[in-house]
Amino acid sequence: MATLFLRNYSRNFVTLIYYFFVLGFSAFCAGLRHEPSSPPRIHIHNSSFQPDLILRVTAGRVPIDCAWRYSVVINGTIPGPELRFREGDQVWIRVYNDIPDENVTVHWHGLTQRTSPFSDGTPAASQWPIPPYHYFDYEFELQPGDAGTYYYHTHVGFGAVTAYGPLIVDERQGESPPFHYDDERTLMFADVFADNDSYIAEGLGKNPFRWSGETTNIQLNGRSRSANATANQQSVSCSYAVVSLEPNTTYRIRLIGATALSQVFVAFEGHANLTLIEVDGRYVSPVPISHLEVHTGQRYSVLLQSKLNYTLRRDRERGKTHYWIQMESRSRALITTAYAVLAYTAVGPLNNTSSPDILRSHQLSPCSSRMRHSQTMAGRPAPPVARSPLRRHFPRIGEVTRRVLVNITQITNGSLYWTQDGSPWYERMPMEPYLVSMYQHSSNVYPDYEAALLNGGLDPKTKTFPAKIGEVLEIVWQNLVGNAETRVLENHPFHAHGEHVWDVGSGYGEFSSQKLEALLAKRRKNGGPIKRDTTNLYRNSYPPQRCRSGDVVSWRAWRIRVRSPGVWMMHCHVLQHMVMGMNTVWVFGGEHDLKPLSREHAALYLGYGGRAYGNDSFDPSVVHYWHE
Ligand SMILES: [Cu+2]
């Protein structure tokens, strides 16, 4: 009896331990990922449903850079309104498309949509775009560790050149950021193109090809003063942006690259002691820097200590009443220089005849790597990032299950387009969004994993890159010289949807494992790679006369643990390049990994303007992933 008891006891004990670990760990992981505890349900969003926020996307003539331009704007302003949430918030945002003749989607740049994959805002990949005079209710949840700087923008055509706005995530109520600051300012950079979006997009797809031209100015928070402005033009939109500061204050300056094309170098006159604390929505251990390089899609936070009263007095006695912010588009054939102002007191109309060349004083050539090193190499995860065990571990080489080498090059045959392993991807390509097709078990668009393995990762039929949950991918973007006619080489800020990637780093020439390991050894001394969502594939300073078509001049490597089922784009964030096909679509997980959704649920999202899309006379039916 005693023996039986002991045997049962020990078996029960083992069982107990087993369940403790297996169930406990599962619950722990579910808690970390904030998985919904019960299956999604359909709700009809009638008049009793109140979204947390409403964004209205319109198009019309708006004042930009001292001229009028037909542009897409959000809630009538450039930038659109600042959206502010806290970690753990579950959010519904209703987006109205009030444009009579264009589709719209909105992407929440940098935020994972693993818990609501229809909300990623990528037309033809994860959702049908919102037709004219319809609306779509985006739902998403801010995850633990998301506190940081993001933005939102439209994801159709060239509209994001003006249709963007800041999105800030704060710590949970009662929690503080890991760095002290008294106040904060947000700086969003954008480009200026005189031609309207549809004309630019048409030209980029045309034969013969018609380039958009380079940016004519760089805007800060929707403001810039054109060099062509007359003395009489003194409106707010035709003036330098003014960032107001109080003396003796520590500011968190959030910088958001919302440009279409420009890689913006930025410096603050008289305020060169900056401390980098955040990169792409993740805190990093503090890094001292004097100025920044912000490409489209990237975000940074720096701490800036404002001047003391007596210093300001001394400066005023010398006639200095304000300090310039200099912005330059580097790495283009034509460098555009623009200015904004740091001011401690009200400033009247300004002209930049007195503005100094602050960036030049930093002795930075367009190819300089010094600051690049500070920003992308020395930064390492700050302690708060380690709160989530899922984020802590950089995948080592032994864990990598597959390397996918993606060769990027420009092809010209009258028209001009960018290819990844020989294929461009355009949002017009699939017959229906891949994600919807997956839920519908539609085999004609379902990626063929085995075929992809035999083709370097790209499924030739669906033009997607499939991966299985649990794989650890090493994605290497390689920059190849364009074909003989153009020999084009450019910088490409690659952006990952779905989740942050470990940015291993970049190098010149052809990629090799040895180069990567040498780079990693160097980076480990500085704390190791950090997680980002937009990193630059540099073009190298390769002498054009030595370029041969097809030469590999540079690479950038990412590692990613595949754990978020869904359809995620990874693409160059230069709007022109996106329109020209520089996009890839990744399908993470098979049908059994996707969130449980019946055919009935998925059918809501199946048609263009389908039942998940509302209008004046139709209340949409929408899947709720969480239950309040
Ligand atoms: Cu690009």
d(Cα 411, Cα 240) in Å, to the nearest integer?
39
For the chain, what is the mean pLDDT?
A: 84
Using the mean position of ligand 1's atoms as its centre, give its distance from the Cα of residue 497 in Å: 16
374/239 same-domain check: yes
The neighbouring-strand residues paired with 60 are 71
DSSP letter assigned to residue 375: I
Tell me: cis bond preceding 383? Omega within 30 of 0 counts: no
User: Is the four-CA dihedral 131, 135, 141, 147 of positive or negative sign?
Assistant: positive
Using the mean position of ligand 1's atoms as its centre, give its distance from the Cα of residue 459 in Å: 22
d(Cα 625, Cα 43) in Å, to the nearest integer?
10
| 374 domain residue, yes or no | yes
554/584 same-domain check: yes
Report pLDDT for 365: 37
Least-confidence region, from 232-236, 244-248, 508-512: 232-236
| 310 domain residue, yes or no | yes
Buried b / exposed e along 317-338 (16+ C-beta atoms within 10 A): eeeebbbbbbbbbbbbeeebbb
Residue 437 has pLDDT above 60, yes or no: yes
Domain that holds residue 346: 178-378
Using the mean position of ligand 1's atoms as its centre, give its distance from the Cα of residue 410 in Å: 10
Instruction: Give the chain's domain count.
Output: 2
Report pLDDT for 410: 84
Using the mean position of ligand 1's atoms as its centre, give its distance from the Cα of residue 294 in Å: 14
Using the mean position of ligand 1's atoms as its centre, give its distance from the Cα of residue 470 in Å: 29
DSSP letter assigned to residue 253: E
pLDDT band of residue 133 (cuts 50, 70, 90) is very high
Amino acid at position 498, single letter: G
User: Is the four-CA dihedral 73, 63, 79, 364 of positive or negative sign?
Assistant: positive
Is 452 within 8 Å of 465 (Cβ atoms)?
A: yes
Secondary structure (DSSP) of 455-513: TTT-BTTTTBEEE-TT-EEEEEEEEEPPPTTT-----EEEEESSS-EEEEEEEESS--H
pLDDT band of residue 358 (cuts 50, 70, 90) is low
414/366 same-domain check: no
Report pLDDT for 628: 52
| 256 domain residue, yes or no | yes
Q: Which two tokens stand for residue 103?
A: 């589709």
Q: 296-317 pLDDT, tens per residue? A: 999 999 999 999 999 999 999 9
pLDDT band of residue 335 (cuts 50, 70, 90) is confident
Report pLDDT for 115: 75
Question: Residue 17: how many CB atoms within 10 A of its CB?
Answer: 10
Using the mean position of ligand 1's atoms as its centre, give its distance from the Cα of residue 464 in Å: 19
Distances in whole angstroms, Cα of residue 471 to Cα of each of 395, 466, 558, 563: 11, 11, 14, 8
What's the helix, strand, coil split of the chain in %, to 5? 20, 35, 45
355/448 same-domain check: no
Using the mean position of ligand 1's atoms as its centre, give its distance from the Cα of residue 172 in Å: 36
pLDDT band of residue 366 (cuts 50, 70, 90) is very low
Using the mean position of ligand 1's atoms as its centre, give its distance from the Cα of residue 411 in Å: 13
Using the mean position of ligand 1's atoms as its centre, give its distance from the Cα of residue 423 in Å: 15
d(Cα 91, Cα 360) in Å, to the nearest integer?
44
352/456 same-domain check: no
Residue 177 has pLDDT above 80, yes or no: yes
403/550 same-domain check: yes
Using the mean position of ligand 1's atoms as its centre, give its distance from the Cα of residue 539 in Å: 10
pLDDT band of residue 597 (cuts 50, 70, 90) is confident
Q: ipTM, 2 decimals?
A: 0.88
Q: 599-608 pLDDT, tens per residue? A: 788 888 888 9
Using the mean position of ligand 1's atoms as its centre, give its distance from the Cα of residue 442 in Å: 32
Using the mean position of ligand 1's atoms as its centre, give its distance from the Cα of residue 582 in Å: 7
Using the mean position of ligand 1's atoms as its centre, give its distance from the Cα of residue 536 in Å: 9
Amino acid at position 617, single letter: S
Closest by CA to 256, choosing from 191, 310, 187, 304, is 187
266/311 same-domain check: yes
| 454 domain residue, yes or no | yes
Q: 45-80 pLDDT, tens per residue? A: 999 999 999 999 999 999 999 999 999 999 999 999
Using the mean position of ligand 1's atoms as its centre, give its distance from the Cα of residue 481 in Å: 13
Using the mean position of ligand 1's atoms as its centre, give its distance from the Cα of residue 23 in Å: 45
482/565 same-domain check: yes
Is 543 within 8 Å of 477 (Cβ atoms)?
A: no
537/561 same-domain check: yes
Q: What percent of the chain has pLDDT over 90?
A: 56
437/357 same-domain check: no
Closest by CA to 72, choosing from 87, 90, 60, is 60
| 40 domain residue, yes or no | no
Residue 26 has pLDDT above 70, yes or no: no
The neighbouring-strand residues paired with 64 are 67
Q: Which two tokens stand for residue 484?
A: 């003989």
Place of tokens 């209008």: 615
Using the mean position of ligand 1's atoms as its centre, give its distance from the Cα of residue 116 in Å: 28
Distances in whole angstroms, Cα of residue 263 to Cα of each of 254, 384, 490, 508, 537: 16, 29, 11, 19, 12
Using the mean position of ligand 1's atoms as its centre, give its distance from the Cα of residue 491 in Å: 6
pLDDT band of residue 466 (cuts 50, 70, 90) is very high
Higher per-residue confidence, 231 vs 510: 510
Using the mean position of ligand 1's atoms as its centre, give its distance from the Cα of residue 581 in Å: 10
| 440 domain residue, yes or no | yes
Report pLDDT for 541: 64
Q: Where is the domain boundary, 378, 407, 423?
A: 378
CATH code at 590?
Answer: 2.60.40.420
Q: What are phi and psi of 485, to 5 degrees?
A: -70, -40
Question: Residue 176: how many CB atoms within 10 A of its CB?
Answer: 11
